Structure 1
Amino acid sequence: MGVMVQPSLRSEIERNLRLKGFTISRLSELTGINSGTLSTILNGNPPRPMTVYQLDQLAIAFGHEPGWLYELYPEECVTEDKFSRPRVIPYLTRCAEIGRQDCINETVSKLLENPKNIKILFSVAEQLFENGRLKESMPFYQFVVDNEKDSYSHHFIMAQYRLFRAVLGSNSEENWKAVIRFEPYRKRLLEHYQLDALLHLANTCFSLHQWRDVEKYADELREMAVILYEDELRKKKTQKTFDPINTERHLVVYYGQGYLLKAAALEKQGLYEQAKRYVEGYADLSWFELLDEVGHYEVQKFQLWAKANMYTLEILLGNVEVLPEYLDFLKHNPPEILPALITIIESANKHGFTVDRIIDDFSEEIKLFTHYRDPLNIDRNFRFRYGLAIYRFNNGQHLIGIDETLQALTLSIVKNNEKDFLHCVTTFEAYRNYATDEQKQEYHQILEEVRNDEKRIAAFSGFDLGTV
């Protein structure tokens, strides 16, 4: 019985060449690969290594699906027991793009036998990230985090940062875990990445109501923005030509957001007069140098937000005489309606004035709140619904209050926030006697969905879901 010969990349290509009856010249025409190059790839001594792009062109010429012979391609990537970066990086990138996880697993396993190859995996992740393949890049960043021993290396820190950004979504529990995992590494990032990282940390903590953390990151954001701003000014004065700092947003955004988020965190803690001082910090940023068209536009936005937030603080302090002016402002600035209504409801509940007319006037805009899918506005919609429920109960409108409570309950589940979930459940139970049979059934169905979802049960483990 003869020994079975394992197929190689070239033997399979040559077999397909014979089956199709192609000459090298014909194959060159079909693939766009130079005939001399093809000849040295197939017949050279030693044969010329081929690129994964060339293999893909051969697959098309022979009528095969993408990924043809990928399991045999790693032999092209190794020379004298060393991996060739120019070949293995495009190969793994392509494997990720077409879902050849089997090839990824085998190649990564071999790469990790040498710790120096972790940089190759990082390069693959970055290539996928830059190509807009965020989901496909994440496992490669995770390989870096799991296997790199030097927690100060650039690729380790960047992998942590990319994973942090990728995880952020509508799930409060996962967002908080992401903050905890990434937080120790934030100051090890290159400075221009620190700006974006601090902004995302602050915004994430804001959506989680971690006000002291928002303050901390906002303070760090302002400090870093000032350092980089002064450095940019210095370069402008001393260098004839210089490359501006490479950040996702204009530099003025980070400076202004440092003040805005600090003010917002103080406001949420009831420190309204202190918050006013920080609102003044971003109310007029026209002095900021290095402003291009985008920068001037951002300055105008901060001016608008400062005006809205000063109204907010006055309303929260109980100064209802500014309400007519505030409402007129909102009619001309629809994006401010949701956060404004939260403030107005909160103040009405605290100071005891009625806002039924205001809710009616904005009824069409309120219907649109259900369309929001981003974490910040989902959280805002929850706070509005829950605050409105309390307002309705305070004013004896129990059935409407229960409807709002049920909407808030559903949003708390979307956010995966146990504290908000419990607030809604205890509020419903407090007014259960006023609920209609239909409302009780809807409440029962919502809790049944939570009970039947193992992940939700784990998240809400502190609450007894046995009683409906």
Structure 2
Amino acid sequence: MKIAPTIRAELDRFLQQESLTLSQFGQIAGMNRGAVSAIVTGNKPLSVNQLDLITKAMGLPEGHFYDLFAENYIIDHPPNMKRIEPFLFRCAELDKLDAIRRVVGAIMDNLMYSPKLFEIAEGLLAQKKLEAALILYEGVAEAERYQHSERLAICQYRIFKIQIGDDQNRNLSAATIFEVFVERLNEIDQLDALKDLANVYRSLRKWDKVEEIAKKMRAKAEIQYTLKHQQNSRERDESTKSLTRPLFVYITYADLLCASVCEAKGDYQQALQYTYAYANLDWVKETDEDTQYWIDLYKTWAEGNTHVNKLLSGDTSVLTEYVEYIAVSANKADKEMVTKLLNVLMAANRYKLDVDDILRRFEIDSFTQQQQPSTDMYTKQVIPEQSARLSYELAYYHLHRGSYDDGFKYLMYSLVSYHILNNESYYINCIGLFEHFRTHAVPETLSEFSKIIEKVWLDNVEKGCFSDHRD
């Protein structure tokens, strides 16, 4: 039978091979002779800090013995959280995710360890060690799957936020799984959870879900806002500090979301009614600086969206006013510029408007590229989807006006973006638009298009979506 290796055996072999005494090795490692002796003889458990010193002294890469450490000192031993916690943090630092999985799998049979692992996961999340935190949250959630606990709901919320990425199919799955846990969160945390869910569904253009969640969020926020001002208690003020926005914003944001639903469905009159609702904030009782910031922001949004709804309903006379409104905030740092310019292009394509001067004025190319990373769900999900649509609308605009070089350039941007987003419907729309104008494509464009299509096919083969029967 093959004897499993141990760190002690590896260290003892190294000492013999290098002809080092315990004292000599201790000097190299920065440890006293007694500590080295206790480790070699097995009289004292090894800490992860000591392991790092030993590994470095042996000239081995960081984390070299981590799998053995998990085997020798954690798995098949009574869990010792004083040893496990620093080990998990070090594994996260060195991206030793398999070691984390093994440890979590070994100790999560016992629910008594859930609170501590959850605490460690929160610490990893604060350090932005998302993949490591995800493993712990999933371990806790699996162990508590039959518990109707708030901690389980928080784990599912964290898992949802970490998993949300470029792939819209995966995002839909993550949102669907998390949605059933929202009601298990406390009443305050539910507001941010619903806001995040609504923004994911908005990026997926699942308008019925957006409306359903927005109305649920509004009702809950109204209750909390009423309670806050009825009780006027310091305790309730403390409870709302965990929110990412002032409490009244969840009411107004629900109206904004409902307006976007109506706009997407072509009901511009109803969209205007929702817009007027979130423009009128006389009912807000707070007067602090943060509140005033949000009130001003909603009034600005309402002004622009009033123009948009009139414009998209066919009143093209407001285009000049809308463009001047855009000009006030025309800079690359304004994340809403993508949305604003998308509105212009949608109107231009729908009503055959000439907007060449507008596109030159705002240097449109800078808004069709990848956006900066963000933790905010709207910026992270909605803006990239709108950026891909902006590229498509630009392609449509230029190709139908005979500007084929620009048209195909933007179409390639959109094609690649929708592949990244894994949005099959819009990806097919891009291919359809290309085929409609294929005869106007120069050989270089045809070659670029073929390369993109082949790359997508190879990516799908790699993912196992299709079989590759090439010899």
TM-score of the aligned structures, taking structure 1 as reference length: 0.80
Q: Which amino acid aligns with 2:371?
A: Y
Please tell me whether residue 276 in structure 1 is matched to residue 272 in structure 2.
yes
- Give the corresponding residue for 1:435: 441
Aligned to 1:339: 339
Q: 325-334 or 237-246: which moved more?
A: 237-246
The structural deviation recorded for 1:332 is 0.9
Q: 1:19 to 1:248 in 2, by over 3 A?
A: farther
Give distance in 2, aligned partners of 1:107 and 1:370. Answer: 41
- Residue 254 of structure 1 is matched in structure 2 by 250
Instruction: Find 1:154's aligned residue among 150, 153, 158.
Output: 150
Q: Which amino acid aligns with 1:382?
A: A
Deviation at 1:116, TM superposition (A): 3.6
CA change 1:312–1:89 in 2 (3 A) is same
What residue in structure 2 maps to residue 372 of structure 1?
Answer: 371
Matched to 2:434, the amino acid is F
Whether 1:212 aligns to 2:211 is no
> Could you list the per-position Cα deviations for residues 397-430 of structure 1 after superposition, in whole angstroms to 9, with x for gaps in the alignment?
4554444333322222122110001111112212
**C-alpha contact 1:151 1:157 (8 A) present in aligned 2:** no
Q: Per the alignment, in what secondary structure is the counterpart of residue 190 of structure 1?
A: coil
- The match for 1:288 is 284
Change (3 A) 1:389 1:193: same
Identity of aligned residues (%): 28
Among 396, 407, 411, which residue is 2:413 paired with? 407
Shifted more, 57-66 versus 392-401: the winner is 57-66
Q: Name the CA shift for 1:292/1:269 in 2 (closer, same or farther; >3 Å).
A: same
List per-residue Cα deviations over 1:244-265 (Å, max 9, x = no partner).
4312333233233212111111
1:426 and 2:432 aligned: yes
Range moving further from structure 2, 245-254 or 397-406 = 397-406
Distance 1:181 1:347 in 2: 37
Asked if 1:108 corresponds to 2:104, the answer is yes
Give 1:356's aligned residue: 356
Amino acid at match of 1:379: E
SS of corresponding position for 1:354: coil
Which ranges of structure 1 fall in alignment gaps of 5 or more residues?
462-468
Q: Any idea what the Cα deviations from partners look like across 1:205-261, whole Å, max 9, x if unmatched?
A: 111111111111111221222222223324425879855431233323323321211
SS of 2:275 mapped into structure 1: helix
Partners of 2:438 and 2:58 in 1: CA distance: 70
Count residues in correspondence.
449
1:327 deviation in Å? 1.3
Q: 1:376 to 1:322 in 2, by over 3 A?
A: same
| Cα distance change of structure 1 residues 90 and 267 upon mapping to structure 2, 3 Å threshold | same
Aligned-pair CA distance for 1:161? 1.2
1:274 deviates by 0.8
SS in 2 for 1:245: helix
Equivalent in the alignment of 2:186 = 190
* Higher mean C-alpha deviation, range 109-118 or range 195-204: 109-118
Aligned with 1:339: secondary structure? helix
Query: How far apart, CA to CA, are the structure 2 residues paired with 1:175 and 1:240?
Result: 33
Distance 2:214 2:274 in 1: 11
User: Deviation at 1:189?
Assistant: 1.6
Aligned letter for 1:376? V
**TM superposition shift of 1:166:** 0.8
Residue 448 of structure 1 aligns to which amino acid in structure 2? E
Which stretch shows the higher mean deviation, 272-281 or 434-443? 434-443
Aligned CA distance change for structure 1 residues 108 and 408 (closer, same or farther; 3 Å): closer
Mean Cα deviation higher: 157-166 or 49-58: 49-58
> 1:464 aligns to what?
none
Deviates more, 1:389-398 or 1:208-217: 389-398
Q: Is contact 2:122-2:133 (8 Å) kept? A: yes
Q: Distance in 2 between matches of 1:77 and 1:318?
A: 68
Q: Say if 1:51 and 1:259 are closer, same or farther in 2 by CA, change over 3 A.
A: farther
Which structure 2 residues correspond to residues 231-250 of structure 1 after superposition, within 5 A?
231-237=227-233, 242=238, 244-250=240-246
**In structure 2, do the counterparts of structure 1 residues 96 and 277 end up closer, same or farther at CA, with 3 Å as the change threshold?**
same
Change in Cα spacing, 1:20 to 1:444, as seen in structure 2 (3 Å) is same
In structure 2, the CA distance between the partners of 1:209 and 1:62, relative to structure 1 (3 Å rule), is: same
User: What residue in structure 2 maps to residue 453 of structure 1?
Assistant: 459
User: 1:9 touches 1:73 (CA, 8 Å); kept in 2?
Assistant: no
RMSD: 4.0
Q: What is aligned with 2:87? A: 91
**What is the distance in 2 between the residues matched to 1:5 and 1:395?**
72
| Cα distance change of structure 1 residues 113 and 128 upon mapping to structure 2, 3 Å threshold | same
Deviation, 1:202, is 0.9
Inter-CA distance 57–437: structure 2 relative to 1 (3 Å threshold): closer
